[in-house]
Amino acid sequence: MNAPVVDVSIEDQVRSVRTGSTTATELVSRARTAIDAQEPVLQAWVQLSSTTAEDVATIDADRRDLPLRGISVGVKDLIDVAGMPTRAGSPVTSAAAAVADAPCVERLRSLGAVVQGKTVTTEFGYFRPGPTRNPHAPEHTPGGSSSGSAAAVGAGTVPLALGTQTAGSLTRPASYCGTAGLVLAHGSTEMAGIVGLSDSLDSLGLLTRTVADLRYVHDAFLGSAAAVQSGLPECAFVWGGSYLGYLDPPMIALLGRLPSVLAGLGLHSEMLDWDDHVQTLAEDHATIMAFEAARTRAREFERRRDGLSPQIRDLLQQGQTISVSDHTAALIRRDRSRELLGEILDGSSLIVGPAATGPAPKGLSATGSPILSRAWQLLGLPVVIVPGARTTAGLPLGIQLVGLPGREDDLFEVGERLEAILRESPPLDE
């Protein structure tokens, strides 16, 4: 699928509106045209908004200096948008429209963004896939659960989309669809108005075309003071995946390039020797997710069991077998590991590793494995997904940068520089 990506940064698009070179209405209209052109194949959207014309007219009339003026956004269908239902990818949810925006949507609107509609999600953010296709290879999965959001941005139809992550729901689709992504640190933003699976794990995320766009939106969304401005960190720990799953040859080759690439950026690097902890964290993540999902979604499970997908039913059944003591023990191990990793990173280092086990697998019946995100998601850490690398077949490969809360600027600084190198690097053999 040829992507009509407009190679203009979000900041420059907003500047063009500010200087009168274009209008917010024109930006939003071009996005809707791109959506309409690609949707028959991409199938990234659950429902498109019928009020974009009115919404953008209000923005064009607003004289304030809005940092996202006229920027179109897709909203994952786990997140409330006023006037549209939140179906969460499931037939058991209500078709009634949400009466108010989730705070994250309200915040984007206050910055001048225009909601184009709701994007496809897997059921309740778990494994049953929707109809969305990968924008770079329609016969391949876009990943999940933020599948529609990642595909829409990867296809160039919108410059910004909201996603969520409980396991690998944003990291993996960003990697597969060739977008930049940010998983916000757990607890750093309000999660009201968002259908979740696990209070201990659910996080909000952003998807954009580039890391530079991601940084710009993050700073507008949370305020630039939310991150410590520090330049390059002192050290990067290269993480090889801790033997959690089989890595495809192109991802192995990409990891092999990282030490020299990081050295070229002026970063000292060393391997992260933490495999035992990561493996335990991945197991504990699965325990906590199942335990909390069984209780969060208990109503749907009890009242509408037959309407749920086999994947969700299996998760909830598994969660019901987990004891309170096992759940508590997993949380205690999480807290101790968080302290230990804080000592390793020492406030000024980050982790660089694979965002997925490889390129997007062929087929639409599954969404790929989230295994490489589980440990970092359990720790509640901010993660930036860096696009740019590709296989010889043209499939994207993503790298994830993991850091401590409050050090997001380190991730953006390294991510922008790393992305530039990856985009110019030779493709990796399948």
Annotated active-site residue 362? The verdict is no
Which residue is catalytic, options 16, 49, 72, 76? Answer: 76
**Three-state helix/strand/coil letters over the chain:** CCCCCCCCCHHHHHHHHHCCCCCHHHHHHHHHHHHHHHHHHHCCEEEECCCHHHHHHHHHHCCCCCCCCCCEEEEECCECEECEECCCCCCCCCCCEECCCCHHHHHHHHCCCEEEEEECCCHHHCCCCCCCCECCECCECCCCCCHHHHHHHHCCCCCEEEEEECCCCCHHHHHHHCCEEEECCCCCCCCCCECCCCCCCCEEEEEECCHHHHHHHHHHHHCHHHCCCCCCCCEEEECCCCCCCCCCHHHHHHHHHHHHHHHHCCCEEEECCCHHHHHHHHHHHHHHHHHHHHHHCHHHHHHCHHHCCHHHHHHHHHHHCCCHHHHHHHHHHHHHHHHHHHHHHCCCEEEEEECCCCCCCECCCCCCCCCCCHHHHHCCCCEEEEEEEEECCCCEEEEEEECCCCCHHHHHHHHHHHHHHHHHCCCECC
97 φ/ψ angles, rounded to the nearest 5 degrees? -70, 145
Ramachandran region, residue 92 (left: φ > 0; alpha: ψ -120 to 50; beta: rest): alpha
Which residue is catalytic, options 16, 90, 146, 169? Answer: 169
Annotated active-site residue 337? The verdict is no
Which residue is catalytic, options 49, 145, 242, 369? Answer: 145
Annotated active-site residue 145? The verdict is yes
200 φ/ψ angles, rounded to the nearest 5 degrees? -75, -15
Give catalytic residue positions.
76, 145, 169
